Amino acid sequence: MTASPLDLPAAPLPAVRPSVALLTDRYELTMLQAALADGTAHRHCVFEVFTRRLPPGRRYGVLAGTGRVLEALPHFRFGDAELAYLERADVVDARTLDFLAGYRFTGSVSGYAEGEAFFPGSPVLQVEGSFAEAVLLETLVLSILNFDSAIASAASRMTSAAVDRPILEMGARRANEQAAVAAARAAVIAGFAGTSNLEAGMRYGLETIGTAAHAFTLLHDDERSAFESQVAALGKGTTLLVDTYDVRRGVETAVDVAGTGLGAVRLDSGDLGVQAVEVRKQLDDLGAHRTRIVVTSDLDEYAIAALAAAPVDVYGVGTSLVTGSGAPTCGMVYKLVAREDASGVLKPVAKASANKITSGGRKAAARRYGDDGRAVEEVLVIGPEELVSVWTPDGEDLRPLLVPLVVEGAVDSRWVGAYGVQNAVATHRHSRAELPRGARRLSAGDPALPTTELRLG
């Protein structure tokens, strides 16, 4: 039931999805129209994606969605259907439609590796190009990163709480149908062992799991017929759902039908901790010592932690995963931090109103380590563009966090498709392991790493 890299398709699936260009807020296009008219559209710009704060009490965030942004980029094209709509709905003028017809992103993107932990202020993505090219991507980039990272951040707490027991993602029915695919992907990045979602399995080479629902038992004249049918079709290694009528009789029938080699039984209701103990004893008494117990039913990271002492082998998680366990979106923003002025010099810019003060200028970022090899600080490197843009750390206690993802329009294929997911799984495992021990506590607290500034020049 664990994902194996060997099962992955050799390359990302061919992308036959239609244009994603209209998954965009209207104002990106009206800003473009005005900027094309006044000549500023071609000013070179740097946009940064970051969050001002983590959800209340959370100690770290997990970046996910980067690979999906890169997969979407070649599909961000305005074809005949999109242009006809924009003209018919009078969204932008003819000059802008001409520009959109030829649009492709030729700029560059850097960012944290997908799966990396992030903290307030971490520049998880930097998009660089003309204003026209880069501003159009704002909505899509944020949609993907905010949702996927919310799911991965919740999922990481769950896999932390489960320690070595596998968790399976089963939340499709409680999420938008396409969001469910992204959620399955994000869950696996954060350590889930598999998903019930077939589209996610196909698209990203994820392990898929699933056996039967209560409807299957109810379809049959009795529970025994249903179990016999399932074992005949799927083998003795299957998982039988034993709580449709009476759990004790269900377990008895299950072992009677499948024998002591039955793969697993699933409990989907009631007091799971108490039932797991009873069912384990019953299975052992019946000689089914290796039959595993799968529990599902509104689990979240707290419920998983509470079951640590119960004889549970596998967790299935749905609703709380796909809704971010109380934090269904991240607060990531896509901010213009530097742009060319009339004389062609890249200048830092920042909104300075009310209480939203942010440093202007491009940032570099690094994680600082203590003597024990654990991370101690998230370091944002600021200062003059000509220094920040070429900064590399001068000591071994700093690990630079920004990696190139798109160079002059060319997407680095290591970050997309099934391989991208596998890379992200490894990145997350490593990134989480080096956080301070307190980072994995479920109780509310401050971010596990303070964000500090290193000013150059």
Task: Identify residues 124-163 at the interface with its own copies (CB under 8 A).
Answer: 131, 135, 138-140, 142-144, 146-148
Q: How far is the CB of 95 from its own copies (least distance, A)?
A: 10
Q: Which is nearer to its own copies, 267 or 398 (CB)?
A: 267
Site track 51-80 with its own copies (rule: CB under 8 A), x = hit: ---------------------x--------
Residue 175 found at the interface with its own copies (CB under 8 A):
yes
Q: Which of 126, 149, 153, 230 binds its own copies (CB under 8 A)?
A: 230
Q: Which of 20, 262, 295, 376 binds its own copies (CB under 8 A)?
A: 20
Decide: helix, strand or coil at residue 72: helix
Q: How far is the CB of 177 from its own copies (least distance, A)?
A: 4
Q: Which is nearer to its own copies, 27 or 441 (CB)?
A: 27
Q: Which residue has the tokens 């598999």?
A: 194
Ranges within 266-295 binding its own copies (CB under 8 A): 269-270
DSSP 384: -
User: How many C-alpha atoms does 126 have within 13 Å on its Cβ side?
Assistant: 23
Q: Which of 165, 214, 399, 414 binds its own copies (CB under 8 A)?
A: 214
Ranges within 24-43 binding its own copies (CB under 8 A): 24-31, 33-35, 37-38, 40, 43
Q: Which is nearer to its own copies, 91 or 277 (CB)?
A: 91
Q: How far is the CB of 391 from its own copies (least distance, A)?
A: 24
State the DSSP H helix or E strand holding residue 30, giving kind and residue range, or none if neither. Answer: helix 26-38
Mark the segment that binds its own copies (CB under 8 A) among 354-362, 375-383, 405-413, 429-437.
Answer: 354-362
Residue 303 found at the interface with its own copies (CB under 8 A):
no
Q: Answer whether 134's CB lies under 8 Å from 47's CB.
A: yes
Q: How far is the CB of 399 from its own copies (least distance, A)?
A: 30
Residue 315: closest CA among 426, 194, 414: 194
CA separation, residue 240 to residues 208, 237, 263, 293 (Å): 17, 9, 8, 10
What is the rounded CA–CA span in Å between residue 167 and residue 320?
13
Q: How far is the CB of 367 from its own copies (least distance, A)?
A: 27
Q: Both ends of the chain: CA-CA distance in Å?
A: 53
Q: Which of 247, 364, 402, 435 binds its own copies (CB under 8 A)?
A: 247
264-267 and 239-241 beta bridge pairing = parallel
Q: Which is nearer to its own copies, 24 or 397 (CB)?
A: 24
Q: Which is nearer to its own copies, 233 or 410 (CB)?
A: 233
What is the rounded CA–CA span in Å between residue 268 and residue 43?
57
What is the rounded CA–CA span in Å between residue 61 and residue 324?
11
Q: What tokens does 108 get? A: 């560059």
Q: Answer whether 375's CB lies under 8 Å from 435's CB.
A: yes
Q: Which residues, other chains included, contact 303 with Cβ-Cβ below 8 Å and sequence gap of 6+?
A: 272
Q: Which is nearer to its own copies, 270 or 450 (CB)?
A: 270
Task: Tell me, by CB under 8 A, how many residues bind its own copies.
Answer: 108
Count other Cβ atoms within 10 Å, centred on residue 431. Answer: 24
Residue 16 found at the interface with its own copies (CB under 8 A):
yes
Q: Answer whether 286's CB lies under 8 Å from 257's CB.
A: no
Ranges within 321-340 binding its own copies (CB under 8 A): 322-324, 328-329, 331, 334-336, 339
Q: How far is the CB of 435 from its own copies (least distance, A)?
A: 26
Q: Which is nearer to its own copies, 225 or 452 (CB)?
A: 225
| Bridge partners, residue 294, by sequence | 266, 314
Site track 250-269 with its own copies (rule: CB under 8 A), x = hit: -------------------x
What is the rounded CA–CA span in Å between residue 289 and residue 287?
6
Q: Which is nearer to its own copies, 86 or 405 (CB)?
A: 86
Residue 330: closest CA among 174, 457, 142, 204: 142
Q: Which of 173, 290, 430, 455 binds its own copies (CB under 8 A)?
A: 173
Q: Which of 5, 11, 23, 222 binds its own copies (CB under 8 A)?
A: 23
Mark the segment that binds its own copies (CB under 8 A) among 86-94, 288-296, 367-375, 434-442.
Answer: 86-94
Q: Answer whether 119's CB lies under 8 Å from 137's CB.
A: no
Decide: helix, strand or coil at residue 398: strand
Q: Which is nearer to its own copies, 221 or 396 (CB)?
A: 221
CA separation, residue 103 to residues 32, 77, 137 (Å): 12, 6, 11
Ranges within 361-420 binding its own copies (CB under 8 A): none
Count other Cβ atoms within 10 Å, centred on residue 434. Answer: 15
Q: How far is the CB of 323 from its own copies (least distance, A)?
A: 4
Q: Which residue has the tokens 């966090």?
A: 401
Q: What tokens does 113 get? A: 């590796």
